[in-house]
Amino acid sequence: MLYRLLLGVLVAVVVSAIRPPSAATVTIKNNHPLIFYHGRWDSSPGTWWTGSGFKLNVENLQSLALNLGLHTTSPFAAIGVSINNAPFFTVNASAGITPIPLPPVSSAARGSTTLVRINVEGSVSNRINLESITLNANAVLHPYKPSKLVFQFIGDSFSSGYLLPMGVDQAWTFIVGERYGAEHRINAAPGAALTDVPSYGNVHGISYQYFKVEDTNYYYTTDHNYTTPWNFARDQPPATHVVIHIGANDSAQNVTASQFVQVYTDFLARIRKLYPHQPIFMLTPWGWPTSDGNVYYYYQGQYQEVLNARTTLGDKNIFLVDATGWVSYEDVFPDSLHPTVDGQVKIANEFTAWMENWGLSPNASINA
Ligand SMILES: *[C@@H]1O[C@H](CO)[C@@H](O)[C@H](O)[C@H]1NC(C)=O
Ligand SMILES: *[C@@H]1O[C@H](CO)[C@@H](O)[C@H](O)[C@H]1NC(C)=O
Ligand SMILES: *[C@@H]1O[C@H](CO)[C@@H](O)[C@H](O)[C@H]1NC(C)=O
Ligand SMILES: *[C@@H]1O[C@H](CO)[C@@H](O)[C@H](O)[C@H]1NC(C)=O
Ligand SMILES: *[C@@H]1O[C@H](CO)[C@@H](O)[C@H](O)[C@H]1NC(C)=O
């Protein structure tokens, strides 16, 4: 009897050595140090602001699922996923388990690492609350090595992916980041003015909200109806270039030219404290094109006034990017006058050409 019991145990031990117990997966908790978070995350941790997300560098990756908590947008938040720098595709992620479809792993790629990039696409309905990530059993996390180049974009609908099928992942801001193989942080909200006035559902302007964890959607949530200060020390590595395109909704809210210049100048003073050595690029409007061929611009000449105000204070590291003529009627959705998917690519081309002329070229080997 004892003999048979011991034999049974022995067999079980041998079998389990050959076929390991059903630990078919590895669970990566949200506080794992090798999850490279970017954008704005609250302590749950959950995303705010379009484009926020995380990156993983995984050896032997065969399966991946996100386990999301109750602060995730219901019924889902659209997320963009890119594997090994392939084009982004969309997954609708919901509270509970969301499997991420992966391309089949070729035998040549086994044992090598896979880069996974995930970000929320929307300007609204953009909250994912990451509890953990489930990977296949023999998957191993490696550090993600961030790019030396980090763009910080600040803006309104034009920069946020508003109306685009894949949201921010098709916006000029995101495209520029991709071209340069850069990290991108995008703080852009449709309808928002720079001035801290209510505008099209935004209870605050960007000059207030930029310094907060939450985007202006916080006001419409019941589980997190408050703002908290953003700890800019969490932006690692720090931005290397700051790019701002804003003003359309200040104009729509009848903020006067002199008020706008004052608000923008004050905002830049705060931005300069955060980014003491970084070049700041201030785009002038590309305006609102119309079917008759005219383009309507707002605050003409005022961006130059902002620049002059900063220069007078001794700030020589701010540049005016003249976006006049970048967009015409065929580049916009006729009903909303916002750039289409192709229009956004055109803007990215124009901005990249401007930056090359200024002295920053995309890294050809990253983009080959
Ligand atoms: C996400 O959900 C929306 C609404 O149901 C649907 O139209 C879209 O096709 C879904 N996208 C994906 C990638 O499943
Ligand atoms: C300002 O907000 C309104 C409403 O969302 C929108 O129609 C307009 O296009 C917005 N402009 C920008 C640049 O965000
Ligand atoms: C959020 O709080 C404000 C008051 O601070 C209130 O007016 C608003 O209705 C609240 N939003 C929701 C969705 O409860
Ligand atoms: C801005 O001014 C125009 C023209 O006076 C007016 O029609 C419009 O209602 C004003 N908009 C706001 C938000 O005050
Ligand atoms: C360009 O990219 C290559 C490959 O990732 C990298 O080795 C190189 O250091 C990059 N050069 C610059 C200037 O970032």
Per-residue HEC secondary structure of 32-99 comes to CCCCEEEEEECCCCEEEEEEEEEEEEEECCCCEEEEECCCCCCCCEEEEEEECCCCCEEEEECCEEEE
Residue 238 lies in a domain: yes
Per-residue pLDDT tens for 303-324? 999 999 999 999 999 999 999 9
Residue 337 lies in a domain: yes
Q: Cα–Cα distance between 160 and 163 in angstroms, integer?
A: 9
pLDDT at 365: 46
Does 288 share its domain with 156?
A: yes
Taking 90 as the threshold, does the pLDDT of residue 367 lie above it?
no
Domain enclosing residue 102, as ranges: 25-142
Does 119 share its domain with 175?
A: no
Record the pTM.
Answer: 0.91
Taking 60 as the threshold, does the pLDDT of residue 11 lie above it?
no
Token duo for residue 246: 């804003």
pLDDT at 106: 67
Among 8-17, 73-82, 161-170, 179-188, the minimum mean pLDDT is found in 8-17
Contacts of 95 (CB under 8 A, 6+ apart): 68, 69, 70, 72, 74, 129
**Contact 220 CB / ligand 3 (< 6 Å):** yes
Does 157 share its domain with 121?
A: no
Residue 2 lies in a domain: no
Radius of gyration over every alpha carbon of the chain, rounded to an integer in angstroms:
24
pLDDT at 111: 72
| Average pLDDT of the segment spanning 89-106 | 93
Per-residue pLDDT tens for 174-206? 999 999 999 999 999 999 999 999 999 999 999
Does 217 share its domain with 337?
A: yes
CATH of the domain at 46: 2.60.120.260
Taking 90 as the threshold, does the pLDDT of residue 108 lie above it?
no
Taking 80 as the threshold, does the pLDDT of residue 13 lie above it?
no
pLDDT at 4: 56
pLDDT band at 117 (very low <50, low <70, confident <90, very high): very high
Does 158 share its domain with 133?
A: no
- Among candidate residues 142, 167, 183, the one where a domain is terminated: 142
Per-residue pLDDT tens for 222-259? 999 999 999 999 999 999 999 999 999 999 999 999 99
Does 243 share its domain with 277?
A: yes
Residue 297 lies in a domain: yes
**Which atom of ligand 1 is least distant from the CA of 92?**
1
Taking 70 as the threshold, does the pLDDT of residue 218 lie above it?
yes
In this structure, what DSSP letter does residue 332 have?
B
Percent of the chain with pLDDT over 90: 89
CA of 215 to the centre of ligand 2 (A): 16
Residue 76 lies in a domain: yes
**Contact 92 CB / ligand 1 (< 6 Å):** yes
pLDDT at 22: 46
- Among candidate residues 77, 109, 142, the one where a domain is terminated: 142
Taking 90 as the threshold, does the pLDDT of residue 18 lie above it?
no
The answer to whether 46 touches 93, Cβ cutoff 8 Å, is no
CA of 271 to the centre of ligand 1 (A): 38
Task: Share the mean pLDDT of the chain.
Answer: 93
The count of domains in the chain is: 2
Does 181 share its domain with 240?
A: yes
What's the Cα-to-Cα distance from 11 to each of 7, 21, 22, rounded to whole Å?
6, 14, 17
pLDDT at 172: 98
- Among candidate residues 142, 173, 189, the one where a domain is terminated: 142
Residue 5 lies in a domain: no
Does 91 share its domain with 163?
A: no
CA of 76 to the centre of ligand 1 (A): 9
Does 71 share its domain with 157?
A: no
